[in-house]
Amino acid sequence: MIGRRTLIELLHIAAGVIGAAVIAYGAVWALPHAASPIWEVAFGMMAVIVFMGVRPLRMAWRADRNRHDPALRD
pLDDT digits (tens, 9 = 90+) for 7-16: 999 999 999 9
* Tally of structural domains, the chain: 1
Q: pTM, whole model, 2 decimals?
A: 0.84
Q: Give pLDDT, residue 1.
A: 80
What are the residues whose beta carbons fall under 8 Å from the beta carbon of 73, sequence distance 6 or more? 66
**pLDDT mean over 15-20:** 98
Say if 5 falls within a structural domain: no
Domain that holds residue 41: 12-66
Say if 59 falls within a structural domain: yes
Do the Cβ atoms of 3 and 64 come closer than 8 Å? yes
d(CA 54, CA 7): 13
d(CA 34, CA 57): 34
Say if 7 falls within a structural domain: no
Say if 72 falls within a structural domain: no
Q: How confident is the model at residue 61 (pLDDT cuts 50, 70, 90)?
A: very high
* Cβ count near 38 (within 10 Å): 20
